[in-house]
Amino acid sequence: AQTVTQSQPEMSVQEAETVTLSCTYDTSESDYYLFWYKQPPSRQMILVIRQEAYKQQNATENRFSVNFQKAAKSFSLKISDSQLGDAAMYFCAYRSAGDYKLSFGAGTTVTVRA
Amino acid sequence: GAGVSQSPRYKVAKRGQDVALRCDPISGHVSLFWYQQALGQGPEFLTYFQNEAQLDKSGLPSDRFFAERPEGSVSTLKIQRTQQEDSAVYLCASSRVQGPAQPQHFGDGTRLSIL
């Protein structure tokens, strides 16, 4: 079974500043996908960014980017120019290439200070 | 519809009662997933459907949990003889086709509280 670990229960960031959320995972597989999901108080899980393990290049989506270190099994999310609307719980998730279910970490709550 | 729709949004039941939670996936989506999210935790996989076939129910915590998707669209998660530990948010997700690269689109969830 895959284990996804998010070691930061809470993070706080000043508006317009940058925050980095950490995620590590444990797997014996070489082909997999990693995701960051955002869950605001409305509870809907929204996909923020996705990374294929076979791609060397780090994924980027507007103000969101990842630092994927395959050897270290690390997948951190950087939120640049933080906005009040970024406040939410963020989940790191893993999905094997041969599987369909997502394995989630425990989440990191991000607070944005005005 | 535009997104995954779940109902009810909130459900309160007394211990021992049966409950049914509904998920209406995005039209045309083949794959459907149920996850259970305890307070302050990440979602955990319960079960997976491809069309009407339930291909994986390994995450269902006990035989009190039952899911169905008889016509390959709407799905119902039923919990019989509810217990306090069943209190959680139940999330439904769907994806267009089966495949690890396919994003799963989530609904708003049903928050179940067992008194």
SS3 A87: coil
B36, two tokens: 């259970």
Indicate the average pLDDT of chain A. Answer: 94
- Pairing of β B31-37 and β B88-95: antiparallel
Label each residue of B35-52 as H, E or C. EEECCCCCCEEEEEEECC
Residue A1 confidence (pLDDT): 57
Residue B61 confidence (pLDDT): 94
* Whether pLDDT at A76 is above 90: yes
Task: Report residue A11's pLDDT band, with 50, 70 and 90 as the boundaries.
Answer: very high
Residue A44 confidence (pLDDT): 87
CA distance B112 to chain A (A): 13
The residue in chain B having the minimum alpha-carbon distance to the alpha carbon of residue A44 is B108
Q: Cβ contact (<8 Å) for B100 and A97? A: yes
Residue B15 confidence (pLDDT): 97
Q: For residue A71, what are the CA distances in angstroms to A23, A26, A28, A60, A105?
A: 14, 11, 11, 20, 19
Q: Cβ contact (<8 Å) for B103 and A47? A: yes
B40-66 burial, b if ≥16 CB within 10 A, otherwise e?
eebbbbbbbbbeeebebeebbeeeebb
Q: Is the dihedral of CA A102, B108, B69, B29 positive or negative?
A: negative
Residue range A31-62, pLDDT digits in tens: 999 999 999 988 889 999 999 999 889 999 99
Rounded-to-integer distance, Cα A28 and Cα B96, Å: 28
Considering only CB atoms, A106 lies closest to which of B42, B91, B109, namely B42
Q: What is the mean pLDDT of residues B51-56?
A: 95
Q: What is the mean pLDDT of residues A78-101?
A: 94
Indicate the average pLDDT of chain B. Answer: 94
Given phi > 0 = left and psi -120 to 50 = alpha, else beta, which region is B101? alpha
Q: What is the mean pLDDT of residues B35-40?
A: 94
Residue range B8-31, pLDDT digits in tens: 999 999 999 999 999 999 999 999
Q: What is the mean pLDDT of residues B51-64?
A: 95
Q: What is the mean pLDDT of residues B52-64?
A: 95
**Interface contact B89, partner A, CB < 8 A:** yes
Q: For residue B107, what are the CA distances in angstroms to A30, B19, B45, B70, B86?
A: 30, 18, 15, 20, 19
**Chain A hits for B6, Cβ within 8 Å:** none
**Chain B hits for A4, Cβ within 8 Å:** 42
Considering only CB atoms, B48 lies closest to which of A45, A101, A107, namely A101
The residue in chain A having the minimum alpha-carbon distance to the alpha carbon of residue B33 is A101
Nearest to A45 by CA among A112, A114, A104, A99: A104
* Whether pLDDT at B70 is above 60: yes
Residue B100 confidence (pLDDT): 67
Rounded-to-integer distance, Cα A66 and Cα A88, Å: 18
- DSSP designation for A86: G
A109, two tokens: 């709550």
Task: Report residue A12's pLDDT band, with 50, 70 and 90 as the boundaries.
Answer: very high
